[in-house]
Amino acid sequence: MKIAIIGGGPAGLYAAILLKKQRPQAEITVYERNRADDTFGFGVVFSDATLDNFEKYDPPSYRRITQEFAYWDDIAVHFRGSVHRVGGNGFCGCSRRTLLLLLQERARELGVTLLFETDIDDEARFADADLIVLADGINSRFRDKHIDHFQPQVDLRSNKFAWMGSTRPLDAFTFIFQETEWGPFIAHAYQYEAGRSTWIFETDAETFRRAGLEGLNEQQSADRMGKIFGWFLDGHPLLTNRSMWRNFPMIRSQRWVKDNMVLLGDAKATAHFSIGSGTKLAMEDAIALADAMAQAPTVDVALQTYEHGRREEVEKTQHAADVSLVWFEHVDRFWDFDPVQFAFGVMTRAKAITYDNLTLRAPEFVREVDKAFAKQVRGKGFNVDLETPVAPMFQPLKLREMEVANRAVVSPMCMYSAKEGVAGDFHLVHYGSRAIGGAGLIFTEMTCVGRDARITPGCAGLWNDEQQAAWTRIVDFVHANSSAKICLQLGHAGRKGATKLMWDGMDRPLEQGGWDTISASPLPYFPDSQVPREMDRAAMDRVKQEFVGSALRGEASGFDMLELHCAHGYLLASFISPLTNQRTDVYGGPLENRLRYPLEVFSAMRAAWPAHKPMSVRISATDWAAGGITGDDAVVIARAFGEAGVDLVDVSTGQTVRDAQPIYGRMFQTPFSDQVRNEARVATMCVGNITSADQVNTILAAGRADLVALGRPHLVDPSFTMRAAAWYGADIVCPPQYLPGKEQIFRNSVRDRQDFEDLKIKGKPKTRAELKAEATKPLAAE
């Protein structure tokens, strides 16, 4: 077999090593345009998990790599004169040059031919090769040559960055967030061998311009960085090696394989440097390719197996990198945070590290985070314990005069079980049990302001006395038997009205017994949905009055809070999104105009709703569709509602149009809450695939939301909050009838938690840093 590998970076060399081991008879050649020891960059990082992989696949190169590596366990965050260190991270650093030289040595030893100073510009010269590996890096000539086939998407990120080195020793992966007269600069730094550290500097485009970095040569910009970070560099110089400022390209390729050619490493996909995964991804690609080649009967099948098997893992890493880079791009959002909360945000930015996880590794750090959170709550007038504070989830919150005992919320969820809009026994049990279960705040399902405002025939309403009496019964039960507050969500289905019950076909039009629908514009939801009537001014006045009427009935029923539903493509949302609003009057066109009617309805309700009671608005912070609402629009929308007197923005997303492409995942909507809260400076509630109390605490402690709503988890577990309270040892109100149950779970939780922590600590393999420390520790005197 003949294998040609274009590019002698980590991907190409490691693929050569693994394939040659697998097929000693194969003729494998690596073509590299540079000289053997001619390399850019300084250090590379690997996690312990990646090193485990290397150990498994090629022990000799693994041993050489680990002999050359610097280990560290801590991450240190420097911000506004403070430094917070968190241990247990298990990372290693190595010189990129050393890594490449030892991979070259190993490849040669196995019989791979390495041809340096050989620039390949045409794959035709490999016509007799069985496999051509395109490992030619981020600017891959071959990916671009076959651009129509590979279909790469290049997302050039807005921040500027430059890679430098220093002789400054470091004992931790170090983040320095530095305020300057021009704006914030960030250094990501780590040691990779004795006396050498990597320094990646990053800043936003405006700060870059203001700092006059545009047009400076390498040395001049190193001098400028040296001045900014001089206090930390401690007299050590910054070193350059092709250290030009650039914008990071996030690259994703639609296809990785063409005939017998396959993309590997940066050529196929990149991952932002802030999660230190570029070289890791490149070498793990080589592992995946070698695995596929070992098992498949033909090269063709192997390449398909490689692409299908590897794509999800690469996309997951890229997603984590995306989330992380967005955090760094918007670091100014958090600039006025308490430093410990800021450091918590840095640690948890990419979702892998959480509150509970940090509690195990760095309990002192988390205690400080809890204290800072409690201090903020105290600042709002609550007499909370500052010395041994409860976890953020169990800290109270005040909106106007309404106080909620904890931050867990039952998200609004239609039960499709009302008769002619009247909530019945099912609703009483549903809301009642969730209130007793401990949630601080309960939202009703979307309660419709008129018969024709309903989504389905099973939707609850609040437009007549019977419905009002039914809601009063539920509200009274909640107030009498729990400390939960209850918020009425009012909405109008718009063009998504007159549809079937969820279990009969979500959003599908009713075949019989439907009613006329209205919307901002006459656009059906599905092609076969009813075409809604475009609202005229008279219809707008009528519907506004319906909202006000229902709000007044809500007050009469005793609700503590009121939410206006402006999300998910329903009537008011249909005005806000440009995808559903094509009006040419003053309610269409720019966002300011599209917001006009929803704001009008909100203001009319606000005027009717008691001044001491809070109001929220639910928005879709993105339509997940081209040309639709984006996170930046959501900030404008939130500000507009804020000015109109909203107390909380309930940040949901999507459901506006059928062809949306949401990116689901754990806590997938939380970044929008983060953006709205910390840019528009309004209180927010986040929601969406948040399934554990650990996630709730992580979100709150990082300042990404003020309340956290859980929908589906509450459908199966009314006592979600009660159980979390037991786990975290936070006291919680419980009706006297259930006290023995509460006492038992609180008692058992102490033991369960201890067992869990012991198990986690025992089960955690030692990091290489710990193993090395143990191996070099002098034996204790007998």
Ligand X SMILES: Cc1cc2nc3c(=O)[nH]c(=O)nc-3n(C[C@H](O)[C@H](O)[C@H](O)COP(=O)(O)OP(=O)(O)OC[C@H]3O[C@@H](n4cnc5c(N)ncnc54)[C@H](O)[C@@H]3O)c2cc1C
Ligand Y SMILES: Cc1cc2nc3c(=O)[nH]c(=O)nc-3n(C[C@H](O)[C@H](O)[C@H](O)COP(=O)(O)O)c2cc1C
H/E stretch holding 518 reads strand 518-519
Q: Is 276 in the site for ligand Y (CB under 6 A)?
A: no
* Stretch of 262-270, 380-388, 442-450, 733-741 contacting ligand X, by CB under 6 A: 262-270
88 binds, among ligand X, ligand Y, none (CB under 5 to 8 A by kind): none
> Quick one: tokens of 127?
């016509």
* DSSP-based three-state secondary structure for 536: coil
Q: Is 146 in the site for ligand X (CB under 6 A)?
A: no
Binding positions for ligand X, 45-84, rule CB under 6 A: 45
Question: Closest distance between ligand X and the C-beta of residue 119, in Å?
Answer: 5
C-alpha 166: how far from its chain's center? 32
- Binder of ligand X out of 20, 33, 64, 333 (CB under 6 A): 33
Question: Closest distance between ligand Y and the C-beta of residue 453, in Å?
Answer: 12
Q: Catalytic positions, please?
A: 570
Q: Is 652 in the site for ligand Y (CB under 6 A)?
A: yes
Per-residue binder mask for ligand X (CB under 6 A), 271-310, x = binder = -------xx--x----------------------------
Residue-by-residue DSSP string for 8-35 = -SHHHHHHHHHHHHH-TTSEEEEE-SS-
Q: Which is nearer to ligand Y, 292 or 414 (CB)?
A: 414
d(CA 532, CA 577): 16
Q: Which is nearer to ligand Y, 162 or 710 (CB)?
A: 710
H/E stretch holding 707 reads strand 707-710
- Binder of ligand X out of 12, 614, 642, 654 (CB under 6 A): 12
How far apart, in Å, do the first and last CA atoms of the chain sit?
60
Per-residue binder mask for ligand X (CB under 6 A), 340-359, x = binder = --------------------
Contact 703, 334 (CB under 8 A): yes
Q: Is 322 in the site for ligand Y (CB under 6 A)?
A: no
**Surface-to-core class of residue 210, CB atoms within 10 Å of its CB (0-12 exposed, 13-18 middle, 19+ buried):** middle
* CA distances from residue 279 to 52, 77, 189, 282 in whole angstroms, order as listed: 15, 24, 16, 5
Torsion (CA) 572, 573, 578, 584 in degrees, nearest 10? -10
- Binder of ligand X out of 16, 43, 84, 327 (CB under 6 A): 43
- Binder of ligand X out of 3, 4, 5, 11 (CB under 6 A): 11
- Binder of ligand X out of 23, 29, 34, 205 (CB under 6 A): 34
Contact 555, 609 (CB under 8 A): yes
d(CA 443, CA 484): 10
Q: Which is nearer to ligand X, 44 or 730 (CB)?
A: 44
Question: Closest distance between ligand X and the C-beta of residue 585, in Å?
Answer: 52
Q: Is 94 in the site for ligand X (CB under 6 A)?
A: no
d(CA 620, CA 766): 44
Per-residue binder mask for ligand Y (CB under 6 A), 409-428, x = binder = --xxxx--------------
d(CA 751, CA 647): 40
Using CB positions, name the residue nearest to ligand Y: 711
Secondary structure, 3-state, 104-164: HHHHHHHCCEEECCCCCCCHHHHCCCCEEEECCCCCCHHHHHCHHHHCEEEEEEEEEEEEE
d(CA 237, CA 234): 9
Per-residue binder mask for ligand Y (CB under 6 A), 451-490, x = binder = --------------------------------------x-
Q: Is 699 in the site for ligand Y (CB under 6 A)?
A: no
445 binds, among ligand X, ligand Y, none (CB under 5 to 8 A by kind): ligand Y
Q: Is 221 in the site for ligand Y (CB under 6 A)?
A: no
11 binds, among ligand Y, ligand X, none (CB under 5 to 8 A by kind): ligand X
Q: Find the length of the chain.
A: 782
H/E stretch holding 402 reads strand 402-404
Sequence-separated (6 or more) residues with CB below 8 Å from residue 594? 520, 575, 576, 577, 578, 581, 587, 588
Q: Is 500 in the site for ligand Y (CB under 6 A)?
A: no
339 binds, among ligand Y, ligand X, none (CB under 5 to 8 A by kind): none
Residue with the two structure tokens 């006025």: 336
Q: Which is nearer to ligand X, 277 or 489 (CB)?
A: 277
Q: Is 136 in the site for ligand X (CB under 6 A)?
A: yes
* DSSP-based three-state secondary structure for 607: helix
* Stretch of 129-137, 310-318, 537-545, 627-635 contacting ligand X, by CB under 6 A: 129-137
Contact 660, 625 (CB under 8 A): yes
- Binder of ligand X out of 3, 18, 28, 32 (CB under 6 A): 32
| Number of residues near ligand X (by CB under 6 A) | 34
Q: Is 687 in the site for ligand Y (CB under 6 A)?
A: yes
Binding positions for ligand Y, 565-604, rule CB under 6 A: 565, 567
34 binds, among ligand X, ligand Y, none (CB under 5 to 8 A by kind): ligand X
Torsion (CA) 47, 51, 53, 59 in degrees, nearest 10? 170
Sequence-separated (6 or more) residues with CB below 8 Å from residue 254? 150, 151, 152, 153
Quick one: the chain helix, strand, coil %, rounded to 5?
45, 20, 35
- Binder of ligand Y out of 398, 711, 717, 723 (CB under 6 A): 711
Q: Is 91 in the site for ligand X (CB under 6 A)?
A: no
Question: Closest distance between ligand Y and the C-beta of residue 433, in Å?
Answer: 16
- DSSP designation for 87: -
Per-residue binder mask for ligand Y (CB under 6 A), 35-74, x = binder = ----------------------------------------
Secondary structure, 3-state, 179-215: EECCEEEEEEEEEEECCEEEEEEEECHHHHHHCCCCC
Q: Is 728 in the site for ligand X (CB under 6 A)?
A: no
Per-residue binder mask for ligand X (CB under 6 A), 236-255, x = binder = ------x-------------
* Stretch of 136-144, 395-403, 426-434, 509-517 contacting ligand X, by CB under 6 A: 136-144
Question: Closest distance between ligand X and the C-beta of residue 30, in Å?
Answer: 9
| Number of residues near ligand Y (by CB under 6 A) | 20
Question: Closest distance between ligand Y and the C-beta of residue 323, in Å?
Answer: 18
Q: Is 202 in the site for ligand X (CB under 6 A)?
A: no
d(CA 219, CA 566): 53
385 binds, among ligand Y, ligand X, none (CB under 5 to 8 A by kind): none
Q: Under the rule (CB under 6 A), what is the footprint of ligand X?
A: 6-12, 31-34, 40-45, 96, 119-120, 135-138, 141, 163, 198, 242, 265-267, 278-279, 282
Q: Under the rule (CB under 6 A), what is the footprint of ligand Y?
A: 411-414, 445-446, 489, 502, 565, 567, 618, 652, 687-690, 710-713
